[in-house]
Amino acid sequence: MDSIAIQGGARLNGTIPVSGAKNSALKLMAASILTDQPLRLTNMPRLADTKFLGRLLRELGVEVTENGDGGEQETLFHAARIESSFAPYDLVRQMRASFNVLGPLLARTGEAKVSLPGGCTIGARPVDLHLQALTAMGVEIELDEGYVIARAPNGLKGAEIEFPFVSVGATEHALLAAVLADGVTVLKKAAREPEIGDLARCLVAMGARVDGIDTDELVITGVGSLGGTTWSVIPDRIEMGSYAVAAAMAGGEVRLTKGRAELIQALSDKMVEAGVEVTPTDDGVIVKRDPARRLKAVNVATEVYPGFATDLQAQFMALMTTADGDSVIHENIFENRFMHAPELARLGADISVHAGEAVVKGVEVLHGAQVMATDLRASVSLVIAGLVAEGETTVGRVYHLDRGFERLEEKLGACGAQIRRIKGEDHEH
C-alpha cells in the first residue's frame, strides 16, 4: 500500500486549481442511466471512486469514454441499452455512492438487484430512507442475502415524501428516481447541499421538470423520457476547503482557482475568526497567513449545508492543534467521526474526545511521526498537520485519500510543500 511522506516546515505559495466535486460527479454519472442519449460531463475529477462507479456502469451496459487530462477532463456516458440491472456486491461495497444506481435502474427498466453497500467507518449511514422513498413511489422491495431486489411492476408513481431528517443520499436518490415517475413527487425536508442543486440542474438540462432547487422542498413533475446534455461538474468545496486549511496551516499565500468562494463560506468565516486572511475572487479565494503569528483557537459545530461541513471537520481540527488556546469541536452529523484524533495525537496534538465533542488544546509544535489514514477526510487532516510538524510525517493507507483527492502531492508540491508518494513495494509499514 502506498504512503505519503511530508517534510514539515515549508511555506505554501502559489496556485491550486480545484477539481470537480466527487460527490456531484458520482450522482451525475448515475443519472446517465436515465436516458438512451449521451451525457457528457466536463470538469470530471479522476478519482478511485469515479473509476469504481465507471466500472459498475460498464457492467450495466453504459459506454464510458474518458477524454482529456489535467484541466480539461471530460467523460462521455452513453446508456443506449441497459444490458443488466444487477449491481454485484464486489463493486458496490467499494463505494457507497454506487448504491444510487438503484433508482435510475428502476426508472429505466422497472427492476433492479443491487447489493447493500456494507459497512462504513464513519458510522451507520443506513440506506433505509432511500428504500422508504422508493417504496412510496410504488416499488416492491425485498432484501435477500445482502441484496435489494426491487421491482416497479406498474412503473414509478409520484408521491409525497417527507424525510424524518435531512439526508443528502436519500434526497439525491429520490430525485434520480422521480424524474421519470408518473405524476408529481414532492420531497420535503430535502437536503440543500450544492451538489444536489448541481444534479437537479443537470437533470433539468436533460429535460426533467424540477422546482424548488436549492430549497428544502423539491417538486418533481415526471416526464416520459430524458435526453442527453453536456454538463460541467460543480467545483469540489471539500477539496477547496481542505487546501484553504492547508495554506492556513503552513502559512504563505495560496490562490485557489476554478472554485466558488460561497461554497466554503462557513469555513472561511471560522478561518478569519482564527486570524487567517481569506479573500474571495471571481473564481475562488486567496488564503494568506503570516506564519510568525499564531492562530487563535475557535469553536466549530458541524451542521447540514450551509453550516460547517462535517467533511471539513478533521481538517479544521488539524488547524486548531497549534492554535493559541482551546477549541471545542462538536460533530453533529456522524457518530464515530473523530478517528483522526488519536492519529493527530501521535504528532503531539493534545485532543480529548467525549462522545460527539472534541476539545483541542493548542500546542506550540507538532513532531513528525508515522500515522495512518482511517477514512477519506481524516487522511487529508494528517497531511495538513504534517505540513508543519517538525521532521518527517508518513501517512499510511493513502488509498483513502485517492478516493477523494486528485493529484494531491502534485498540487501541494507545486506550492512548495515537501511531499512525496512512497509506492507500496519500496516501503514497509
Q: State the virtual CA torsion across 287, 238, 283, 38 in degrees, nearest 10.
A: 160
422 is in an annotated binding site: no
Give the helix/strand (H/E) hosting 111: strand 111-115
Q: What share of the chain is helix, strand, coil (3-state, %, to 5)?
A: 35, 30, 40
Give the helix/strand (H/E) hosting 168: helix 168-178
Residue 243 contacts residue 17 (beta carbons within 8 Å): no
For residue 200, give the C-alpha cell. Answer: 437537479
Residue 246 contacts residue 383 (beta carbons within 8 Å): yes
How many angstroms separate the CA atoms of 190 and 168, rounded?
8
311 is in an annotated binding site: yes
46 is in an annotated binding site: no
Give DSSP secondary structure letters for 304-370: STTSB-GGGHHHHHHHHTTSBSEEEEE--S-TT--THHHHHHHTT-EEEEETTEEEEE--S--B--E
117 is in an annotated binding site: no
Active site residue 415: no
- Which one, of 120, 132, 223, lies nearest residue 171 by Cα? 132
How many angstroms separate the CA atoms of 104 and 197, rounded?
18
How many angstroms separate the CA atoms of 400 and 194, rounded?
23
Residue of 120, 124, 143, 365 marked active site: 120
129 is in an annotated binding site: yes
128 is in an annotated binding site: yes
23 is in an annotated binding site: yes
Residue 355: exposed, middle, or buried by beta-carbon count in 10 A (0-12, 13-18, 19+)?
A: exposed
Known binding residues for phosphoenolpyruvate are 22-23
**Residues classed as catalytic:** 120
Known binding residues for UDP-N-acetyl-alpha-D-glucosamine are 96, 125-129, 311, 333
Known binding residues are 22-23, 96, 125-129, 311, 333
